Structure 1
């Protein structure tokens, strides 16, 4: 298996997220991948736990992540994103800092920090 460039792996993950293609997204994660709150607790480990989290998120009709910036350092990729979501309070955006560690062409660990949430106001 050819090891993919870490930035290409993370871009494939972002593309699959925006396409709401859970199968393509799961192919970017190692089978025993871990997701964390940045500097905090484990959110999910392994495909059997990660997949349903994305399936639930993909049910949001307006879900979309816009890449604001990306930094690559070796096998670590840090993305700053603005994610459009359907919150219980209404349509809005949330800032996300996503740090991915790519090992052998797949995301092994991902940590997420959530920033400000802004609800879209009607004119």
Structure 2
């Protein structure tokens, strides 16, 4: 029988990334990402390639006054971590919440690939 791989190291990177996101700390956030990371809308729509594009995408987002990701559940096996979150954002129609599933692949202690599946924003219900 093979013992399951410990996902705690990968989980720690993803947890640090979410904490930095909620603090809107771009330097701590980017420290969790590989220089050549890729970032997708699930399943395969490329949103950002490389640290510079990921940084630019989040600099805009970090200006949102209501921004906050609330972790609902986290699962991991080896280098793959799956988060279920409710993210509060400033949408064009007002402040609201959106359900999200985030899948992170961690390599060498940093996020190398990520996929995000978003629900429908619910305006007025953070």
Q: Please give the TM-score of this superposition, normalised by the length of structure 2.
A: 0.91
Deviation at 1:47, TM superposition (A): 1.0
| Equivalent position to 1:93, from 97, 112, 126 | 97
Deviation at 1:40, TM superposition (A): 2.1
Is 1:59 aligned with 2:56? no
Q: CA RMSD in A?
A: 1.1
Query: Which whole-Å CA distance do the structure 1 matches of 2:52 and 2:73 have between them?
Result: 30
Matched with 1:110 is 114
Structure 2 unaligned spans of 5+:
1-7
Structure 1's consecutive aligned runs of 4 or more residues displaced over 4 angstroms after TM superposition are none
What does 1:2-13 correspond to in 2, within 5 Å? 5-13=9-17
Q: Per-residue CA shift, 1:48-80, capped at 9, x if unaligned?
A: 111010000001001000000000111100000
Query: Which whole-Å CA distance do the structure 2 matches of 1:45 and 1:106 have between them?
Result: 15
